[in-house]
Amino acid sequence: MSFPSATSRTTRPDLLLPAEVARLGGLEVTTQAIVEGFLHGLHRSPRRGFSVEFVEHRQYQPGDDPRYVDWKLLGRTDRLYVKQFEEETNLRAMLVLDASASMAWRGEEGRLTKLDYATRLSAALALVLLRQRDATGLVTFDEQVRDILPARVRAGQWQTLAESLAALRPGTGTAADVALTQVVAALRRRGMVVLISDLLMDRTLTLKALRFLRHRGHQVLVLHIADPAELDLAQGDETRFRDPETGAVVTVAPSEWSSEYRETVAGVVRAWGSACRASGIRYALVPTDLPFGTALLQALSA
């Protein structure tokens, strides 16, 4: 895997290695840095629209429809503000984040755990969506649904999401199908659903839930979070491995099983990708050493 040049990494925090980004500060600090760099790289133009349910004011910008200027507020403040409405949002998005015990794993010291990487990626994705006026919500789960934040676009929504993500701690087992079922009620009309998980779960049940969301007309994206050490078993002496969710233990010599392990993992990745794409579901494998800007581009590309 190739990484950006030193010059681009200096000017684009989103292109730093994830561990380097984490050293910038807490979740809010790193997310702001990631998104500013990412949007700077995109040279994104804002999208606008209005409908019926008033949400908040924002300062007038050239090109805004004068019909939505709040003239009473102008008289009181001598400043131009326009009214924003709930339907200014382009879509409604729900991020469904896996917080099971397996997400707390990392292969090397100094590398982010899968959950740490996923929370930063989720926060950055939410901020990008909200800045383009897409109502965004969050579902977190382990063996049961932990928290549900409805999709909104109003002021303070990202702060609420960020606080929930920052407080998230790894739980126990995994039941993504239960969490995905909750999304049906949370999204009252067609929107986008993003499952962010290491996919160490029942594939049949999870795909059934994802396909149901597609049947309801939602765009569905699966971001498969994986530590590089999970994708390729390192050479070494006899080692004991323990499943963080079931507690099952197995002792093997990696040097004897690395080839078979690599083929098995590659087969699992292919199976998830093929099953998702066959159902009209977008799928992307996201290693935890992948720069956040690249991961965001994968998530937001058509």
What is the pairing mode between strands 192-197 and 92-98?
Answer: parallel
Length of the chain: 302
What is the pairing mode between strands 135-141 and 145-152?
Answer: antiparallel
pLDDT digits (tens, 9 = 90+) for 15-28: 999 999 999 999 99
**pLDDT of res. 145:** 92
Q: Which amino acid is at 116?
A: D
Say if pTM beats, i.e. exceeds, 0.85: no
Angle, helix 203-215 to helix 254-278, in steps of 10 degrees? 20
pLDDT digits (tens, 9 = 90+) for 100-134: 999 999 988 889 999 999 999 999 999 999 988 88
64 and 82 Cβ atoms separated by less than 8 Å: yes
3-state SS string for the chain: CCCCCHHHHHHCHHHCCHHHHHCCCCHHHHHHHHHHHHHHHHCCCCCCCCCCCEEEEEECCCCCCHHHECHHHHHHHCCCEEEEEHHHCCCEEEEEEECCHHHHCCCCCCCCCHHHHHHHHHHHHHHHHHHCCCEEEEEEECCCEEEEEEEECCCCHHHHHHHHHHCCCCCCCCCHHHHHHHHHHHCCCCCEEEEEECCCCCHHHHHHHHHHHHHCCCEEEEEEEECHHHHCCCCCCCEEEECCCCCCEEEECHHHHHHHHHHHHHHHHHHHHHHHHHCCCEEEEEECCCCHHHHHHHHHCC
Rounded CA gap, 75 and 73, in Å?
5
- C-alpha distances in Å from residue 278, one per residue of 214, 242, 271, 274: 12, 33, 11, 6
Structural domains of the chain sorted by starting position, each given as residue range(s) with its CATH number in brackets: 6-44+90-300 (3.40.50.410), 54-87 (no CATH)
Nearest Cα to Cα of residue 196 among 101, 285, 130, 301:
285
**pLDDT of res. 249:** 76
Query: Token pair for residue 241?
Result: 């491995």
**pLDDT of res. 46:** 40
**Along the 302 residues of the chain, how does pLDDT read in single tens digits?**
455 555 555 568 999 999 999 999 999 999 999 998 888 877 543 443 334 455 567 787 776 777 778 888 888 888 888 876 554 456 889 999 999 999 999 988 889 999 999 999 999 999 999 988 889 999 999 989 999 999 998 889 999 999 999 999 998 888 889 899 888 888 878 899 999 999 999 999 999 999 999 999 999 999 999 999 999 876 666 666 676 666 777 776 666 677 888 899 999 999 999 999 999 999 999 999 999 999 999 888 74
Nearest-5° Cα angle at 257, 255 to 258: 70
Q: Which residues, 6+ apart, have CB-to-CB distance to 113 below 8 Å?
A: 103, 104, 105, 106, 288
